[in-house]
Amino acid sequence: MSRPAATADSPAATLDSPPAVLTHKQILSVLSGLLLGMFLAALDQTVVSTAIRTIGDDLHGLSIQAWVTTAFLITSTISTPIYGKLSDIYGRKPLFLLAITIFVVGSTACAFATSMYMLAGSRALQGIGAGGLMSMAFAIMADIIPPRERAKYQGYFMAVFGSSSVLGPVVGGFLSGQDTLMGLTGWRWIFLVNVPLGILALFVVVRVLKVPHIPQPQRIDWWGALSLVVGLVPLLLIAEQGRVWGWDTPRAFACYVVGAAGLAAFVYIEGRMGDAALLPLRLFRNGTFAIGSAQSFVIGMGMFGGIAIVPLYLQIVKGASPTEAGLLTLPMVVGIMSASAVSGMYTSRTGKYRMFPIMGSSLLILGYLALSRVGADTSLVYTDACMLIMGWGLGLNMQTIILAMQNAVPPRDTGVATSSTTFFRSLGGTLGTAIFLSVLFSTVTANITGAFRDAGMAPTAGGDILNDSSFLSSLTPEQAHPYEVGFSQSMSLVFLLVAASLVICLILSILMKEVPLRLTAGNQAMAEEMAQDKALGDNEPSGSVSEGASSGASSGGGRR
């Protein structure tokens, strides 16, 4: 018996009428909506960074600026796996529209915040929306495009991600530098620009996104979601605030204990919930999924933790403005886009992808090792070359890991697999940023003191580079040079640690097996899988979590 059809905007596929194969033109029209949504999320990750000091001064709360970042980080990280699971049950389009709507409402609230606490609360709301934008975009793409063809289309996503990484600091620096713009303080437009973009994304998604959905009636794992919140909130708090609070203070230990208890409860609940779990533990028996999750975590540490240091070097040591620092990272974006395009076309043509994470991890290690040689007097040409190598490494890694994890699990778990990639990468990024910035700022004072001693000079009175580096602009080049040398020495240590952590990613890449890519899109594969179940009279899903079974049905007789 065929399943009932859903609404006209999001029709349900049936066993008697499986989803139709989309043409290239239809895929591009759908991608236009997905890319708009992803652009909102990616831009917002960087646009606030260059304006936060201006915002803090205007709202008279500079000392609590970290909470503005932390609130967004916590809600976006935790909501990501929830979106993935709910979209597997209810469909991608409703959840994607919900994410855009929440993000736009949160952006509006941020724009009219009257205090830093109000801004932090509004950023938390904005983060709830952001958690679904990127993961839903990749999951929808998995539904409509076969894995082998998907690689070349993912280059569009990497291009948007890379360009927004450059535009974010530039736009944030420009707008925050305006006293007023159309009657409002300049920094408020950082959030208001999201509103027309979000409304446009809603319009495009409603009009062009016709993604069939095969209903999967399941219980909703509310207890798992609650335990995940209890587990991650204190751990993310201590990761962000530990350097300020102290890693061995009573508040820190309270976070450790509550977080550990919450995560233990989460694992227990997920085991009891089985297939209805927010993150089904059976997926970790799949080698590709388990290794891909670990890779995403380590890549997140290296990407966010290491990249957070580069703009500091450009601004503090090289004297670049926030806008100039954003533009100087363009070689990294070029590397991401070019590597994504080349690897995507090769994978689409040959079906081979395992080599790219190995090559990407090696290039990332090489790039960070080269950056560890950067000093106060190093040419920007050398720094740009290092960033280009890092961009190549990221471009070869990011889309390939997502593709491998999506392809390795049954089609019914596509949303969970996609959101897991983003989830673990965000966790790794949070931990990496906390660790590497702590190393940087805990060693910089001693290195600056040593640089002054080596130069035979006394430190300049009143200079506190840990809290305010603006005083460097008032110093002569000779007076500022020891500060720059000390800071670059601490940076070198951080880059060496990042390179060492990425060795783990290289080892994981070597261990990953190459599962043949399916030749059918996710919705088609799921319809075929359920039709086989019906024909066999089997009440259990036929999709196995084993790597061979997840691709065997389609690799043998797939359709383009």
Same domain, 132 and 173: yes
Distance CA 83, CA 96 (A): 9
Residue 5 belongs to a domain: no
Domain end point (choices 239, 257, 277): 277
Q: Residue 547's pLDDT is what?
A: 44
Q: Residue 9's pLDDT is what?
A: 42
**Radius of gyration of the chain, Cα coordinates, nearest whole angstrom:** 24
Q: Which of 27, 73, 13 is nearest to 48 (CA)?
A: 73
Distance CA 91, CA 357 (A): 30
Most distant CA atoms of the chain, gap in Å: 86
Domain range for 265 is 222-277
Question: Helix, strand, or coil here: 44?
Answer: helix
Using the structure block, give the residue that is written with the tokens 């759908």: 30
Same domain, 272 and 194: no
Q: Residue 16's pLDDT is what?
A: 45
> Is the distance from CB of 150 to CB of 343 less than 8 angstroms?
no
Same domain, 299 and 244: no
**What phi and psi, each to the nearest 5 degrees, are found at residue 549?**
-70, -30
Distance CA 472, CA 316 (A): 8
Q: Determine the straight-line distance between the first and last CA of the chain, rounded to whole angstroms.
A: 27
What domain count does the chain have? 2
Same domain, 180 and 246: no
Displacement of CA 533 from its chain's centroid (Å): 36
Same domain, 414 and 527: yes
Same domain, 236 and 370: no
DSSP readout, 257-325? HHHHHHHHHHHHHHHHHGGGSSS-GGGGGSHHHHHHHHHHHHHHIIIIIIHTHHHHIIIIIS---HHHH
Q: Residue 521's pLDDT is what?
A: 60
**What phi and psi, each to the nearest 5 degrees, are found at residue 185?**
-55, 140
Other C-beta atoms closer than 10 Å to the C-beta of 539 total 6
* Element holding 494 (H helix, E strand): helix 477-511
Domain end point (choices 277, 311, 345): 277
Other C-beta atoms closer than 10 Å to the C-beta of 555 total 19
Q: Which of 129, 140, 133, 130 is nearest to 88 (CA)?
A: 140
Distance CA 430, CA 72 (A): 12
Distance CA 324, CA 380 (A): 12
Distance CA 398, CA 421 (A): 9
Using the structure block, give the residue that is written with the tokens 């709830």: 128
Q: Residue 125's pLDDT is what?
A: 94
Residue 514 belongs to a domain: yes
Same domain, 453 and 443: yes
Same domain, 236 and 319: no
Same domain, 364 and 295: yes
Same domain, 185 and 201: yes
Residue 290 belongs to a domain: yes
Residue 16 belongs to a domain: no
User: Dihedral of CA 404/137/263/243: which sign?
Assistant: positive
> Is the distance from CB of 401 to CB of 375 less than 8 angstroms?
no
The 10 Å CB-count burial string (b at 16+, else e) for 473-503 is eeeeeebbbbbbbbbbbbbbbbbbbbbebbe
Same domain, 288 and 364: yes
Residue 9 belongs to a domain: no
Same domain, 78 and 184: yes
Q: Residue 224's pLDDT is what?
A: 86
CA distances from 175 to 45, 287, 525 (A): 16, 47, 47
Chunked into runs of 10 residues, the chain (560 residues) has average pLDDT values of 40 47 74 82 74 76 70 84 84 90 94 90 92 84 77 74 73 78 85 89 83 68 86 81 79 91 91 83 87 90 76 80 75 85 84 90 94 88 91 86 83 78 82 79 83 77 58 75 85 91 93 79 57 57 44 38
Burial class (CB in 10 A: 0-12, 13-18, 19+), 16: exposed
Domain end point (choices 257, 277, 297): 277
> Is the distance from CB of 459 to CB of 452 less than 8 angstroms?
yes
> Is the distance from CB of 526 to CB of 409 less than 8 angstroms?
no
Q: Residue 542's pLDDT is what?
A: 45
Stated length of the chain: 560
> Is the distance from CB of 399 to CB of 343 less than 8 angstroms?
yes
Residue 145 belongs to a domain: yes
**What phi and psi, each to the nearest 5 degrees, are found at residue 181?**
-145, 110
CATH number of the domain to which 199 belongs: 1.20.1250.20
Residue 2 belongs to a domain: no
pTM for this prediction: 0.76
Residue 17 belongs to a domain: no
Q: Residue 3's pLDDT is what?
A: 39
